[in-house]
Amino acid sequence: MKKMIQRESVVTLCEQLIAESKAIKENTGKHFIIQKVANHICERASEIKDICSVDKYDIYFNGKVEVGKSTAICNLFNLVDRSKFTVDKRPSDALLLKTASGRTTVCETVITQIEDDKSKIIVDPVSVEEFHVLVREYIKAISPNYNADTDSLPPEELIRALKNMLHIPSEYTSNEDRYQFLLDKFMVEHTEINQNELVNMLIVEVSKYINYENRTQIEYCCESGDFNEWLKKHFNDINDGRLDNCPLPSKIYIDIRKNDIDMGLPNFISRVIDTRGIDGGQRKDIQDVIKNKKSISIMNDEIGMIGGNADLMNIMKQVLVKENMDLRHRVFLIGLERDCELSDVPDADGNRESGKKIKTQQAINRMKKSGINFSFENIAFYNSFYGIAIASSNKKIMKICSEQYDQEKNEFFNFIEDGLKFMYSGYRKELMDLLDKVKLLEKNSITEEVLIKLDQSKDAVIVTKEEAKHQVYDLIGKLEEEIQGTHPSVLRASVNRLGIYPSFNLYATIQKLGGEEFTKKCLEVKRELVGNIKGRFGCSVGIEEVILQTLLSKIDLEYYNYYEKSRALYYEISDRGLHNVETWEKPLQYWGDGNKKYRERVTVDILREVMKKEVQKSLSKFLILDLFFDGLVKFMDFNQQ
């Protein structure tokens, strides 16, 4: 392993660079352009300092539903009942944070190791309004007039929780039987009443029975007894809706006392987060996490098409852009291996390491094709049960090699730590280069030739701005494509929630289009501008090279800032204008009206509201494009004091 590049030494280097560049910035005897360059370097050093001042990270495990995130977390962080992790036992039975039969967890789970206090589980509940939406969807889904093509169906894990809250016996397996059971249970009279009215009556009775408003117990402490049994049972029961006073969780927090289980957290990890499985949609929550300086994002994928999961790639493509080289350091793609998948890779000849190399290259090729600014050193693999021989017939453990099992875990953590070391090493190199630039700024003055080139570059920016203004982006057409590409049942679920649903969030979709619009108008002309400026400066050396490199850095920085600003404003404007009952009044009435073409009608309504609220026009008032190019002109203007 490479010698550790100490994080603290990078921070110290930042402080030195900040002090030296600040001195030049505040030196009134220096030319205004040199002061600007020094200020840019100072701001960059401050940004690196902020990044490297983080000593502990929250580590997020992201991936599609049932990819194996929870299984990986349990094995990596010792959340395993060792008494059940033995020969002739099923390995899944030993996992403490897996729901019964290994089913999908109902929400995001945040796990923290604590030194003192009691181990406990805290539930952040689903709101009353959201819960009643789920009840309506479930009752309609099991009713006779349910239409699988247009009607929304809650995810299986939520259906499981609702069934348990309603105490529907397990022998009632069909929707028809469950519906009849509820009619009988609540003695709903249904002889001379139409189906829609009957469904509405049943929804009222079911809501009364569950009495969600009074499900207020949200904290569960382990007082005594077998901690493993307590954790497994309570986590399972909370997920499955089996605790009568517990609300449905939107997020679960688990605090584990070290004396109960030592999670073996590396010194750079603060908390472990198992995110809700990705099942389509933009997943703004995961995008925001990637941008958080205090996060490490583990993007879990299947071995077969690693680097090719459309939902994962869509999330990363929106955030990992070339103009920001910082974010990619803390994003890792991990292929989760089942059985001997890597050894069985074609052309691997039964060699696991060869399989890893083949799959790594495939992932690189796919992500390059997708245009994702990914650090390709950050691709690795993990097998939760490596070293465990499992019978294919009954899935029971035949043999355990603890050394291989532990080595697999250690290699995972070493890989993540090496990624952080690589980040620190890269920043150290960048800082040393910037210190050299500062020394050149100290010793040299600006030349007339440089000022001429800056003036020419400024003129090039003005021309480029006009070219960008002529670029056209069809927001309405693109939004129509996004909506039409959404399954009607998913769209229905989004309508029920006024446009916000994990698999289709209208405002996050419009945010994505806001970024695409800025990219369409500015990316190519920006590249041409960079080529133009490089051509004017030629093979620069000394202070001229410092000016050129600063210009290029400034262009990328401003591009990224306004790309993100465009996305954020589109989200805010659309959310403010459309996220209200009035906007969704008509689509909310479409369920069960007997008319067809549900998706088409909803699409027309949404687009009408977007145009009515002038979302695109509202954004244009912020002059994002003008601000981007005008900022560059101002930076190059050496006449401003």
Q: What is the pLDDT of residues 530-559, one digit of tens each?
A: 999 999 998 888 999 999 999 999 999 999
Concatenate the DSSP letters of all residues of 556-571 into one string.
HHHHHHHHHHHHHHHH
Measured distance CA(37)–CA(441) in Å, rounded: 9
Measured distance CA(344)–CA(205) in Å, rounded: 54
**Cβ distance 299 to 312 under 8 Å?**
yes
HSE of 60, CA atoms in CB hemisphere, 13 A = 23
Is the pLDDT assigned to residue 640 strictly greater than 80?
A: no
One-letter amino acid at 465 equals K
Is the pLDDT assigned to residue 637 strictly greater than 60?
A: yes
Check residue 2 and give its pLDDT.
43
Measured distance CA(42)–CA(170) in Å, rounded: 65
Here the tokens at position 145 are 């007039």
Q: Which of 534, 558, 554 is nearest to 624 (CA)?
A: 558
520: exposed, middle or buried (Cβ count in 10 Å: 0-12, 13-18, 19+)? middle
**Cβ distance 460 to 533 under 8 Å?**
yes
Q: Supply the mean pLDDT for the chain.
A: 93
pLDDT tens across 475-515, in order? 999 999 999 999 998 999 999 999 999 999 999 999 999 99
Is the pLDDT assigned to residue 592 strictly greater than 70?
A: no
Check residue 5 and give its pLDDT.
62
Q: State the alpha helices, DSSP H only, in 118-226.
A: 128-142, 156-165, 175-185, 195-210
Check residue 614 and give its pLDDT.
83
